[in-house]
């Protein structure tokens, strides 16, 4: 790529606020600070082949069978939002991480940290949403734990879920598997979850409220597997950090370039409006019910057909392709013929979005 | 049992502070309020056969093999204490829950909620302790997640771990399996973890500080399995709520009575002194490296020998027995010939002990 583009990416420019000895909000962003926290604080002590995969879920062998294991903690604020609450999100987040490895989610555990004074009616709504989401995702919540901390020592309620999924023997999408020529598909309109949260937080009212897309994605994965199988090279649910961060991670892991066509990226009108109002780029806004799929070029129409056959994927579309050039970089071709680097953000666009 | 003993247990006496519409600290105690939270808030929505086992870990079938799944969130305060920190505790707590089902711990996930401003040097010590504890327990930490919340929205650092263990086909201790005639063994001196935490919290200095017993217990379980096998009927690590709560849960699950011999319960001198100073009963104080085993009467000496062959079990001893009488109740025979009910506490003796 040309030199000025490279400079604009800022990859070689040290970020001053990294030079600190304490955790910052940005370390939870899913961007560069998150990556450095993982690289500098966790991996030096905890490195092992399964953890080092750094995929959405770890793949390990147990009793001769391969399984996927994933975990996530949920600290979303507010706890309830249009389209869901922290309970449904905690189920969807973890089953989706399993699904992105091609695994069928089987079992979940749930750990709760409750703040003294949390109203039971709120807790009831959260638990009910978890139960409904687990049933819909055909996953069993089999183990749980609850701790309580004093008033002011947590923010209402945090939930951790961990999940176990079964892997078939041949369908193994991984972030390292993107290949030049692949098409990049999204299963639906982006940036809805993040903007649903932000609209509540900022008190923005729209004629129709923006609903989170939070949903379990395995049904889409199953259809992709059945229709194009191993021609699905990479799957990712672009949560924290949005589509931009997910594509950057895949470009880096596969050492390929990704080119996005701005005009083809589906952003619902109200979401685009809210993003503009708040100065946010929808490419960096979290999704909780959308997947990105890298698929062999010749399989584009079959893959899109498979996605569109399910309600969650009815607006599936191609947004870009994989190229040999600028390995590790995502480049957006804009409507007016320009292009710009879509980099990992250093820190936080939207804290506590999940 | 006699009527006055039954009344003293208070089982039929409604507890006024349960009549509230909000979460209280006592709901995290491991006592009666914890049980009611689970029964009234979680199980009505989430009930399924695996979760309803309500054991230390759920046993489920995956690909034809039985596995154990467990989770726990850790909110201990302070984060560091003599004998460990929240990191080592988060490993030991979950691998021990697996071990108590007879499962060999294999894999762990870890989810972190970090408070903005947490010093990195503290985080480093926590992660290092996790790594060392996982290595010692021969368990692989394969999946992780980190979230960050604003200053004042968490108390430094919370960790959730979930674990997966492999089960053999025949060794299946469960809380429902205690039988009249069984002897009740403990693997070592009790109440050390809770009093180590309390001593730091209350600023009590002893000549030799009380160290937490926090440790991975699978090596003891393995030895018990090898020496007496299916004659081990129940295993439990008496954490929150201590030995008293664990025995109450087992007595209720197995519909048997438990008789404890006060004089045989091993409480280290400094621990007993600290308990007296703070008005705490060591039977209710948390342990993190002690197990309780219910074993067929004829196997007592072989089981004790197996435990004593490992450093963690060198002070193993018999503390009681299982009886037909007073099913569901634990009765302590005191040194002076009296007896008293050892009931579940309603609420909290020691909040945030793990």
Residue with tokens 């691998």: B95
CATH number for the domain whose boundaries are A57-166? 3.30.1330.10
Residues B28 and B23: their CA atoms lie apart, in Å, by 9
Q: What is the pLDDT of residues B26-61, one digit of tens each?
A: 898 878 888 899 999 999 999 999 898 888 899 999
Residues B348 and A259: their CA atoms lie apart, in Å, by 58
pLDDT of residue A2: 38
Q: Distance, in angstroms, between B336 CA and closest chain A CA? A: 38
Residues 29-68 of chain A whose Cβ lies under 8 A from any Cβ of chain B? 34, 37-38, 41-42, 45-46, 48, 50-51, 57-58, 60, 62-65, 67
Of A65, A148, A155, Cβ closest to residue B149: A155
Q: What is the pLDDT of residues B105-142, one digit of tens each?
A: 999 999 999 999 999 999 999 999 999 999 999 999 99
Nearest to B75 by CA among B350, B351, B354, B287: B354
Q: What is the pLDDT of residues A176-201, one digit of tens each?
A: 999 999 999 999 999 999 999 999 99
Mapped onto helix, strand or coil, the DSSP state of residue B77 is coil
Q: What sign does the CA torsion over A24, B110, A214, A238 have?
A: positive
Residues A229 and A85: their CA atoms lie apart, in Å, by 33
Mapped onto helix, strand or coil, the DSSP state of residue B232 is strand
Q: Do domains B3-12+171-341 and B57-166 have the same CATH topology?
A: no
A263-266: long-range contacts (C-beta < 8 A, 24 or more apart)?
A: A263/A335, A264/A317, A264/A318, A264/A319, A264/A320, A265/A186, A265/A190, A265/A319, A266/A186, A266/A188, A266/A189, A266/A190, A266/A315, A266/A317, A266/A319
Residues 120-149 of chain B whose Cβ lies under 8 A from any Cβ of chain A? 120-121, 123-124, 127-128, 130-131, 134, 140-149
Residues A10 and A57: their CA atoms lie apart, in Å, by 29
Say yes or no for a CB contact (<8 Å) between A28 and B153.
Answer: no
Residue B193's alpha-carbon distances to A233, A260, B220, in angstroms, are 49, 56, 18
Of B111, B153, B154, Cβ closest to residue A72: B111
Residue A97's alpha-carbon distances to A17, A76, A92, A112, B114, in angstroms, are 30, 17, 8, 20, 21
Residue B8 reports pLDDT greater than 90: no
Angle in degrees, CA B243, B246, B251, rounded to 5: 120
Q: What angle, rounded to 10 degrees, do the helices at B120-136 and B86-99 form?
A: 30
pLDDT over 90 percentage in chain B? 81
Cβ pair B262, B330 in contact under 8 A? no
pTM attached to this predicted model: 0.93
Of A25, A50, A120, Cβ closest to residue B22: A120
Q: Distance, in angstroms, between B333 CA and closest chain A CA? A: 33
**DSSP strands (E only) in B172-323:** 183-186, 232-236, 257-261, 292-295, 317-323
Residues linked to residue A140 through DSSP beta bridges, in sequence order: A107
How deeply is A13 buried, as exposed, middle or buried, from its count of CB atoms within 10 A (0-12, 13-18, 19+)? exposed
What is the number of other CB atoms lying within 10 angstroms of the CB of residue B299? 22
For B140, name the nearest residue in chain A, comparing CA atoms only.
A48
Mean pLDDT within B9-15: 40
Q: What is the pLDDT of residues A310-351, one digit of tens each?
A: 999 999 999 999 999 999 999 999 988 899 999 988 776 688
Is A19 within 8 Å of chain B by CB? Answer: no
Residues B246 and B34: their CA atoms lie apart, in Å, by 13
Of B73, B106, B140, Cβ closest to residue A160: B73
The values of phi and psi at residue A115, to 5°, are -90, 135
pLDDT of residue A31: 82
pLDDT of residue B348: 64
Q: What is the pLDDT of residues B187-241, one digit of tens each?
A: 999 999 999 999 999 888 777 789 999 999 999 999 999 999 999 999 999 999 9
Residue A212 reports pLDDT greater than 70: yes
Is B114 within 8 Å of chain A by CB? Answer: yes
Per-domain boundaries in chain B? 3-12+171-341, 57-166
Mapped onto helix, strand or coil, the DSSP state of residue A57 is coil
Q: What is the pLDDT of residues B260-314, one digit of tens each?
A: 999 999 999 999 999 999 999 999 999 999 999 999 999 999 999 999 999 999 9
Edge-first strand order for the sheet with A339-341 is A232-236, A292-295, A183-186, A317-323, A257-261, A330-333, A339-341
Residues A45 and A40: their CA atoms lie apart, in Å, by 9
Q: Distance, in angstroms, between A346 CA and closest chain B CA? A: 15
Of A24, A62, A71, Cβ closest to residue B111: A71
Architecture of domain A3-12+171-341: Alpha-Beta Complex (3.90)
Angle in degrees, CA A128, A129, A130, rounded to 5: 90
For B150, name the nearest residue in chain A, comparing CA atoms only.
A25
pLDDT of residue A9: 38
DSSP line for A73-132: EE--SSSEETTEEHHHHHHHHHHHHHHTTTPEEEEEEEEEEEETT-BHHHHHHHHHHHHH
Residue A6 reports pLDDT greater than 70: no
Q: What sign does the CA torsion over B91, B93, B96, B101 have?
A: negative
Residues 309-328 of chain B whose Cβ lies under 8 A from any Cβ of chain A? none
DSSP line for A301-347: HHHHHHHHTSGGGTT-EEEEEEESSSTT-EEEEPTTS-EEE-PPPSS
pLDDT of residue B31: 82
The bridge status of strand A140-149 relative to strand B317-323 is: unpaired
| Residue A20, C-beta contacts closer than 8 angstroms, at least 6 positions apart | none
Rg of chain A taking only CA atoms, in angstroms: 20
Residues 333-352 of chain A whose Cβ lies under 8 A from any Cβ of chain B? 351-352
Residues 199-228 of chain B whose Cβ lies under 8 A from any Cβ of chain A? none
Q: Which helix (H) or strand (E) holds B99?
A: helix B86-99
Q: What is the DSSP letter of A41?
A: I
């Amino acid at each position: 790529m040309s030199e000025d583009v490279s400079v604009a990416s800022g990859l070689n420019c040290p970020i001053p606020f990294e030079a600190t000895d304490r955790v910052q909000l940005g370390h939870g962003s899913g961007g560069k600070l998150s990556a450095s926290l993982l690289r500098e604080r966790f991996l030096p002590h905890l490195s092992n082949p399964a953890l080092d995969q750094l995929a959405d879920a770890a793949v390990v062998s147990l009793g001769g069978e391969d399984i996927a294991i994933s975990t996530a903690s949920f600290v979303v604020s507010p706890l309830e939002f249009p389209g869901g609450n922290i309970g449904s999100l905690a189920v969807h987040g973890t089953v989706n991480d399993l699904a992105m490895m091609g695994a069928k989610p089987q079992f979940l555990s749930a750990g709760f940290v409750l703040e003294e004074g949390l109203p039971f009616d709120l807790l009831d709504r959260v638990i009910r949403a978890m139960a409904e989401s687990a049933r819909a995702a055909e996953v069993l919540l089999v183990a749980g734990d609850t701790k309580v901390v004093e008033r002011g020592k947590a923010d209402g309620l945090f939930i951790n879920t961990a999940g176990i999924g079964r892997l078939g023997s041949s369908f193994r999408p991984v972030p390292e598997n993107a290949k030049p020529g692949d098409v990049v598909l999204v299963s639906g309109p982006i940036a809805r979850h993040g903007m649903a949260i932000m609209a509540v937080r900022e008190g923005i009212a729209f004629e129709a409220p923006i609903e989170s897309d939070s949903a379990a994605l395995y049904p889409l994965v199953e259809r992709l597997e059945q229709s194009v199988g191993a021609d699905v090279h990479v799957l990712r649910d672009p949560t924290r950090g949005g589509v931009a961060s997910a594509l950057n991670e895949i470009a880096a892991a596969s050492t390929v370039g990704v080119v996005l066509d701005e005009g083809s990226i589906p952003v619902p009108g109200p979401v685009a409006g809210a993003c503009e109002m708040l100065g946010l780029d929808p490419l960096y806004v979290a999704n909780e019910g959308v997947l990105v799929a890298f698929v062999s070029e010749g399989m584009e129409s079959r893959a899109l057909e498979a996605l569109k056959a399910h309600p969650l994927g009815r607006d599936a579309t191609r947004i870009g392709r994989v190229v040999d050039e600028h390995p590790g970089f995502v480049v957006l071709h804009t409507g007016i013929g320009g292009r710009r680097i879509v980099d990992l953000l250093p820190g936080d666009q939207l804290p506590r979005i999940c």
